[in-house]
Structure 1
Amino acid sequence: DNFQQVREIFKEASEVLGYDVAKMCFQGPKEDLDKTYITQPCLLTAEISAFSVLKMKNIKPSFVAGHSLGEYSALVASESMEFKDAVRITSLRGSLMQNAVPEGKGAMCAVLGLDRAKVDALCAETKGYVASANYNCPGQIVISGEKDAVNEASKKAIELGAMKAIILNVSVPSHSLLMKEMSKEFERHLSEIDIKTPKVAFVNNADAKILIEPDEIRKSLVRQLYSPVLWEDSINLICQQTKVFIETGPGKVLSGLIKRINKDTKIYNVDDLNNITTSDF
């Protein structure tokens, strides 16, 4: 609330969505904020608000990347997508994801302490459909798919030596083939959104590559719905050029993942915004 520009960002999001986004973010109610069609645009708004503070300090990125939903914030930051369009499409994305699989039929699980080859193999050997959804960092992979298959794979993971296999409190099996049918409708809506060539190098989730062409970016956003997030690979790519990162989302989850991927990185986050200056880079 300390920056007029941030207030304007929340106001713009509220106008697009038809409800008070700032009130929803800071006052809830939690049961509404937890609905993914509300969660997604609210997170986007918070992230772009933090990014706007960096811009006011003349701190500009050389690369942008986002984890899953965060790709939309990255595209807004790179001026590839208009903020209002990102708000609209992430709300729709959330609605389509929520309705893609019947309640109680999908699940996700974080597997800790196994490498990706072992996790991929145990998924392939499990009856039903389950697959790796997020390659977050060495020793942390999220699997996604049919609930029974995810539960079975989580038990196998422990048997194979995983430290933990934590069933996540989500009902949407994100980044799995269970999202593929829904992705067709999403693609139709995304085709109405203007996407420009990014002004900052944009590293995508589905390939861990720098994408430049708007058509490539559009296709990537669709594929991301049913493909694994290659976060570890993306960070390794960026680390070839820089090891300084700023996490603009709430919390420090990505900061922790990045540090596990490359211990030589220097990482700032939202809590540091008031103290970061250009001399830190």
Structure 2
Amino acid sequence: MKAYIFPGQGSQFVGMGKDLFHSSHLAKKKFKLSDDILGFKITKIMFEGPQEILKNTLYTQLAIYIYSVIKTKILNNFNPDMVAGHSLGEFSALASIGVFSFEEGLILVNKRAYMMQKICQSISGGMAVILGLEDHIIEEVCKKDKGIIVPANYNSPGQLVISGEKKALQRVCLSLKKKGAKKILILPVNGAFHSPIMSTVQKKLEKIIQKISFKNSKCPIYQNVNAQPVTKYHEIKKNLIEQLTSPVKWKQSIKNMIDDGAITFNEIGPGNILQGLMKKIYKNA
């Protein structure tokens, strides 16, 4: 069985999509449509940068979504047996299999990114990658801290991202270092994604999502919040709403896809950031 996976933030690069724009009439049409819908030239930011602008949450999420979905539109044989997307990538995955339209997804991602950017400016938060510790150790340390700090991304065996208030993040990172973490990397983001800090955004996004007409999925999508295959539109919608404050269960999703018969995994997006995680997950599947 053939699986397609879609990356989230971190996979962007200046120049992304430029080759698609010049080589495909359909791609060019979709890129221009994106500019028209958004009311500004996201394509200029994607194609020319600068990097400092592109890595801004507001533009990053739009750029990756646009690139990923357009890529599926121009593939000759895009007929997945199952799909999954990492955080933002879940929106790309859903649009690619027709749960909502490219245009509806673009508007949704635009509003999601804008609201996430706003909350990041008002609350001091951060994220860190913890390498070389068992999940339960990280979970316990986060739970004991008095601040807002939680596991955010279960990326692969031995790699878990935590998210929360900056002071809590500093305390927990120090504790985890003493517990034997091989490496701790503070991510270059100014927000605490997939944490309770995003609850205000979640409530606003829920109202927007409820207005969009979702369809049943053509194939199972393994969603971030529970790592389980879902096809019914009402379940997909519910899980998508919960995603903002829930951890991304990526390694669990991939393991379940393998157990359910996935043989090949095709990454659809700029770069190949998910392939590195795949190798680690495969070793422990």
Same fold (TM over 0.5): yes
Query: Size of the alignment, in residue pairs?
Result: 263
Aligned to 2:46: 25
Alignment match, 1:12: 33
Deviation of the 1:102 alpha carbon: 4.0
Encode CA deviations 1:43-86: one digit per residue, 9 max, x unaligned.
101111222232xx224211111000000110011110100011
Identity %: 35
Superposed CA RMSD: 1.6
**Residue 229 of structure 1: how far off its partner (Å):** 0.2
What is aligned with 1:260?
A: 280
Please name the residue that 1:136 is paired with: 155
Once structures 1 and 2 are overlaid, which stretch shifts more, 213-222 or 171-180?
213-222
Asked if 1:246 is matched to 2:285, the reply is no
1:1-281 to structure 2, matched below 5 A, reads: 1-54=22-75, 57-103=76-122, 105-240=124-259, 241-263=261-283
Q: Report SS of the residue matched to 2:171.
A: helix
Give CA deviations for 1:12-71 in whole Å, capped at 9, x if unaligned.
2111111223221010233332221221111101111222232xx224211111000000
- Contiguous gaps of at least 5 residues in structure 2: 1-21
- Conserved in 2, the CA contact under 8 Å of 1:64 and 1:77? no
Report the alpha carbon displacement of residue 104 of structure 1 after superposing the two structures with TM. 6.2
8 Å CA contact 2:72, 2:78 repeated in 1: no
Structure-1 separation of matches of 2:283 and 2:73? 28
Distance 2:126 2:220 in 1: 33
Shift of residue 138, structure 1, vs aligned partner: 0.2
Cα distance in structure 1, aligned partners of 2:272 and 2:175? 30
Q: Which residue of 1 aligns with 2:5?
A: none
Amino acid at match of 2:203: K
Q: Secondary structure at the match of 1:41?
A: helix
Conserved? CA contact 1:108–1:170, under 8 Å: yes
Aligned partner letter, 2:46? C
Structure 1: unaligned runs, 5 residues or longer: 266-281
**Once the 2 structures are TM-superposed, how far is the Cα of residue 170 of structure 1 from its aligned partner?**
0.5
SS of match in other structure, 2:150 = strand
**Partner Cα distance (2:88, 2:67) in 1:** 12
Structure of greater relative contact order (alpha carbons < 8 Å, 6+ residues apart):
2
> Could you report, residue by residue, the CA deviation over 1:152-205 in whole angstroms, capped at 9, with x for unpaired residues?
111111111111111111111000011112211111111121111011211100
Between stretches 134-143 and 116-125, larger displacement belongs to 116-125
1:93-128 per-position Cα deviation (integer Å, ceiling 9, x unaligned) = 011111224456101000001111111011112231
d(CA) in 2 for partners of 1:16 and 1:204? Answer: 27
Q: TM-score, normalised by structure 1?
A: 0.89
